C-alpha cells in the first residue's frame, strides 16, 4: 500500500482514509462505496500549480476531468486555482453548473458534434482542440453565426508513445487522435486552420500516453513539438503562443509501480518546464503558454472502493473466489484490459496474508473479475474489502449493468465524511423507461 497520512492503518488495525475508519464508512453509507480523499486531491493540485508557476511561469494545469467528473470535483479544482479539460457536452454542462470558469477549459474530442461545439461557444470555453478538417469547418460556421472568434489548438501526433515504464519513438500514424507531424498531415491542417477567419490558431496539443513513470518520453515529445514550432515559424511565419503537452503521469496501483508522494509529482512538472525552457532558448522560439493536463494522478490514488465480502468459493487445488457486492458495473477496468489493483481486507490490515484469492463481482458474467491472485488474510463472509487507487476511471466508467446501482461517492477530510454523489434508487433505474 502506498501509505500516507490520510491513507494508513490505524491503531485498531483498520484501514483509515481521510481520518475516517473504513468500518465507520461502511456502517454509515453501506457498500459498495467510492471514497475520495479531499486532502490528497487538494495537495496534488497545489503541488502541480505551484511547481508550474515557480519553474516555468506562464501556464495552466488543466485537470483531465474524464478521470472523475462531478459537480464537487470541479468546485475543488477551481478552488485550487487550476483549469480543466473536458471531452463531452456532459462534462461541459457539469463544469458550468458547478460555476467553473469556462475560459479555463480545453475542450477535446475526435468527434465533437455540432451541438457540442455550439455549447462550448455558448459557454465561452477557453480553447477548442481541433481533430479534423470538418470540425474546423463546422466551428468556423458556428463562429460566423455568433460573430465571434474562437481560440483553437490542433491535436498532433509527435511520434512518441509512452505507457507505464516504456516509451518508443515511432512514425506510427494509426491513431484516432491527432495529425502526424512525421507524415506532413499536421503541417497541412495547420495551414488549413490558420486560413480560417473566425478561428484563432494559437498553438498545438499532443498527448503521448497514459500511466507514464519515466520522464524521457516527455523530453522527446518537447523536442519534437518545438522542432515543429520552429519549422512552422521559419517556413510560414506562424508563431504560436500556446503549447499543450497533455498528461499521462503514472500512479501507484500495485507492486512494481513507483510509490510517489504528492510532492514528488513536482518532478514531472520540473522536467517538462526545464526541458521546454532549454528547447525554446536553443531554437530561438517565443516562450509559449504551457498547458498540462493531469487527471489520473490527481484523483487516482485519492480514491478507494469498499465492498462487503459475500460468498466464498474454494475450488481445491485451483482457485479461491471472494464474491463482492460490486463488480464490473462499478469498476470495468479489469474486464476491459486486465488493469491491476491492490486489494486489502480493510479490518484485518495487520493480519498475515496467507491465502490467495480472486475477487469476483456479482454480475452475470464469467469475466466479472476485479483482481486475480491477491494475497489476503483468511476472508469470511461479511468482511470489508478495500480496492485501492480507484479514484480515476471507476465512477466515470460505471454503469447500471444488470440493473445494479452505481455506488455513491463520499468525500472524506479531517475525520469527516459527506456525500458528493448520492446513492441511486430503484426509481433512478427506470426514470427514463417508457
The whole-angstrom separation of Cα 93 and Cα 348 is: 42
Helix 114-123 with 89-97: angle, nearest 10 deg: 20
CA dist list (Å): 166 to 92, 161, 210, 296: 33, 9, 11, 18
Position of cell 498532433?
A: 156
Residues 45, 279, 363, 364: which is the catalytic one?
A: 364
Give which of 271, 264, 293, 265 is closest to 65, Cα–Cα: 293
H-helix segments, 307-349: 333-337
- Do the strands 83-86 and 105-107 form a parallel or antiparallel pair, or are they unpaired? parallel
* Cell (9 digits) for 151: 481560440
DSSP string covering 199-229:
EEEEEEE---EEEE--SHHHHHHHHHHHHHH
Q: Does residue 364 carry a catalytic annotation?
A: yes
Dihedral of the CA atoms 393, 427, 22, 39 (nearest 10)?
A: 50
Between the two ends of the chain, the Cα-to-Cα distance in Å is 47
Residues noted as catalytic: 364
Amino acid at each position: 500500500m502506498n501509505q500516507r497520512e490520510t491513507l494508513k492503518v490505524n491503531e485498531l488495525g483498520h484501514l483509515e482514509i481521510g481520518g475516517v475508519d473504513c468500518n465507520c464508512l461502511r456502517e454509515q453509507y453501506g457498500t459498495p462505496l467510492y471514497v475520495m480523499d479531499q486532502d490528497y486531491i487538494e495537495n496534488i493540485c497545489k503541488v502541480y500549480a505551484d511547481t508550474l508557476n515557480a519553474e516555468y511561469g506562464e501556464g495552466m494545469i488543466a485537470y483531465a476531468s474524464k478521470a472523475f467528473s462531478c459537480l464537487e470535483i470541479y468546485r475543488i479544482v477551481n478552488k485550487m486555482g487550476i483549469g480543466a479539460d473536458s471531452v463531452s457536452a456532459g462534462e461541459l454542462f457539469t463544469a458550468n453548473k458547478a460555476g467553473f470558469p469556462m475560459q479555463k477549459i480545453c475542450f477535446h474530442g475526435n468527434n465533437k458534434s455540432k451541438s457540442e461545439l455550439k455549447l462550448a461557444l455558448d459557454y465561452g470555453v477557453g480553447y477548442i482542440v481541433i481533430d479534423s478538417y470538418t470540425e474546423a469547418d463546422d466551428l468556423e460556421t458556428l463562429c460566423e453565426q455568433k460573430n465571434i472568434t474562437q481560440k483553437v489548438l490542433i491535436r498532433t501526433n509527435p511520434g512518441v508513445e509512452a505507457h507505464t515504464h516504456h516509451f518508443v519513438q515511432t512514425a506510427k500514424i494509426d491513431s484516432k487522435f491527432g495529425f502526424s507531424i512525421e507524415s506532413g498531415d499536421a503541417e497541412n491542417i495547420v495551414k488549413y486552420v490558420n486560413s480560417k477567419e473566425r478561428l484563432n490558431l494559437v498553438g498545438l496539443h499532443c498527448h503521448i500516453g497514459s500511466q507514464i513513470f519515466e520522464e524521457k518520453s516527455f523530453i522527446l515529445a518537447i523536442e519534437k513539438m518545438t522542432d515543429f514550432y520552429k519549422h512552422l515559424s521559419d517556413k510560414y511565419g506562424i508563431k504560436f503562443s500556446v503549447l499543450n503537452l497533455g498528461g499521462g503521469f503514472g500512479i501507484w496501483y500495485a507492486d512494481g509501480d513507483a510509490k510517489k508522494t504528492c510532492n514528488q509529482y513536482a518532478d514531472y512538472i520540473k522536467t517538462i518546464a526545464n526541458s521546454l525552457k532549454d528547447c525554446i532558448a536553443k531554437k530561438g522560439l517565443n516562450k509559449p503558454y504551457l498547458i498540462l493536463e493531469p487527471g489520473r494522478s490527481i484523483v487516482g490514488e485519492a480514491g478507494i472502493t469498499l465492498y462487503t465480502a459475500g460468498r466464498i468459493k474454494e475450488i481445491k487445488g485451483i482457485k479461491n473466489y471472494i464474491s463482492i457486492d460490486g463488480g464490473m458495473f462499478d469498476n470495468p477496468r479489469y474486464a476491459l484490459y486486465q488493469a491491476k489493483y491492490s486489494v486489502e481486507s480493510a479490518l484485518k490490515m495487520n493480519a498475515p496474508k496467507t491465502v490467495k484469492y480472486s475477487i469476483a463481482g456479482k454480475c452475470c458474467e464469467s469475466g466479472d473479475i476485479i483482481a486475480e491472485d491477491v494475497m489476503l488474510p483468511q476472508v469470511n463472509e461479511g468482511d470489508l474489502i478495500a480496492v485501492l487507487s480507484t479514484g480515476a476511471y471507476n465512477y466515470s466508467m460505471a454503469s447500471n449493468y444488470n440493473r445494479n446501482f452505481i455506488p455513491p461517492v463520499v468525500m472524506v477530510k479531517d475525520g469527516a465524511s459527506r456525500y458528493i454523489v448520492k446513492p441511486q434508487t430503484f426509481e433512478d433505474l427506470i426514470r427514463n423507461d417508457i
